[in-house]
Structure formats: C-alpha cells, structure tokens
Structure 1
C-alpha cells in the first residue's frame, strides 16, 4: 500500500511539475515509504536479565518479570476477539496487524493500573519460554 501511494503521488508530481526529471519523485518517495515501513514495523520483544532482575521489553516499554502472574500465547484465530470485545481499555497493547500471534502477559502489581500486556510476536513460544526460565 505504501509503495502504491508513493507511485500515485509521484505520478501527480510529474504531471504538476514537468520541469523536473521524471525519476526524482519516484526515487524520493520510494525511499520515504521504505523508511516509514521499517520504522513502523520495528517492535522488539526481549527478556533481559540485569542488576534489578529480569525484565520484559516491548519496544521502549519494560516490565519487571517479578510482577508477571501468568502468560500465554494468543493464536491468530483468537486475535480479533482479544483485540475486540474482550480487550480491557486499561491494557497495554503493542499490535502490528501483519504479525499473526500475540503474547498475553497478566500482571500482579497493586501499584500499576494496567491489568495485562498484549504484544504482537512472530515467535510467542520463544518469548514465553524466556519468561518462564
């Protein structure tokens, strides 16, 4: 979709400004579209161990593993229900539409109003095994 939009805008620029070389709008907008797609798709999920204990990271957000009461993977078939009518408005959600499964991490922290995290992951079994170890 991003490259189709870049093509349409490049065609319009070529029609509106015929004095510039025809390839410049295409080259510029395709680089912009590729950069936008890479930036939007960048969510890293990792479990780290440090001085303060292990933490779950989803993008820039992080969570101590000690406040996790349970975790599970949500398959692609249950994704629409988990993000739709069953979604708690206070939940922390990192969703990427092109990534099928989700990881559900339920919190047990009296100081945090967030009941759970719901994060897109291509490999939920690896995230869950890292959390359990």
Structure 2
C-alpha cells in the first residue's frame, strides 16, 4: 500500500490558536508593594526586636504572592476548547462571541446582569468577550471574559467553532 492510498487527510488547516495572560500592569505591582511596605512600617512603629523585621518579612512576600495570584489567569483557544484558567468550554457549544469595549462590558455586567453567567473579569483590563452559549443542558447563558485583545479572541473562538463544525 502506498502512502497516498492510506487514510484520507483533512485539507482544512487547523484554526489559529489564541493565548493571553491577564497579567497586572506595572503600576499595580508598585502600588501593592508600596501599600504592603506602608502597612509593615505602621506595625513596626520604631519598635525593636522582632517587631522591627517581622512585619516586612511577612507582609511584603504576602503582597507579592497576592499580586502574582491576581495576574496568573490564562486564556487560550486550542484543541477545540476555550480555556479560561481551569474552566473549559468546548467550542461546539458556542453560539456567538461578541467583543466588548469598556462600555459594553459595563452594560453586560451591570444592573441587568444574568446571575447565572460565568464571569472572569479583571478591572484593570478594559475589553472583554461575551461568549453566548447554545447548550440546552447548561443553565449558563453566556461567559464574559476579560481580554486585552477582545476582537482577536472572539475571532479565534468563532474560527475554532467553525473548524469543529466542519470536522464533524
């Protein structure tokens, strides 16, 4: 059997993937460390002994850890899934993906927001994507995910969905 007569090969190329990390901007790192140092200085208040170094040894690393945790969220579209941190959404359940600017995100998450929506929102990031779901077994109507490049994320989600539909 020749190599060309083996199993058929898909001619459609895989959709381009997408990856983003919702990291903190530099000024939030600076503000967080300044707040931790100020709080440590307030606890210290010129005392001698353990109170001289313990607040700095505890509060500054705790602030660094907290800031790192805030900026660790990753968003990716690959292998037929939208991945937001540890949550995964198969793209076959996506009805639409709508890029939102700051005003659109405020409207979607404002007073009339749906309490069943899945939201990963970071206030220091202006844009977001609303992913409307089409899954009768899931009560979640949509996902709202912060993104610095919402148009690219929405396009990647829709491209992955279309590629998944073409593959089946």
Q: What TM-score results when the alignment is normalised by the length of structure 2? A: 0.69
Tell me the alpha carbon deviations over residues 60-96 of structure 1, each in whole angstroms, 9 at most, x when there is no partner. 1000100000111110122222111231111001111
Give the aligned partner of residue 69 of structure 1.
95
Alpha carbons 1:56, 1:62 under 8 Å: kept: yes
Listed as ranges, the gaps of 5+ residues in structure 1 are none
Listed as ranges, the gaps of 5+ residues in structure 2 are 1-30, 160-168
Alpha carbons 1:68, 1:107 under 8 Å: kept: yes
Higher strand share: 1
Size of the alignment, in residue pairs?
A: 129
Determine the C-alpha separation between the residues in 2 that align with 1:103 and 1:10: 39
Q: Between Structure 1 and Structure 2, whose CA radius of gyration is higher?
A: 2
Which of 12, 25, 32 is residue 42 of structure 2 equivalent to? Answer: 12
Output the aligned Cα RMSD: 2.0
Give the aligned partner of residue 64 of structure 2.
34
Alpha carbons 1:92, 1:116 under 8 Å: kept: yes
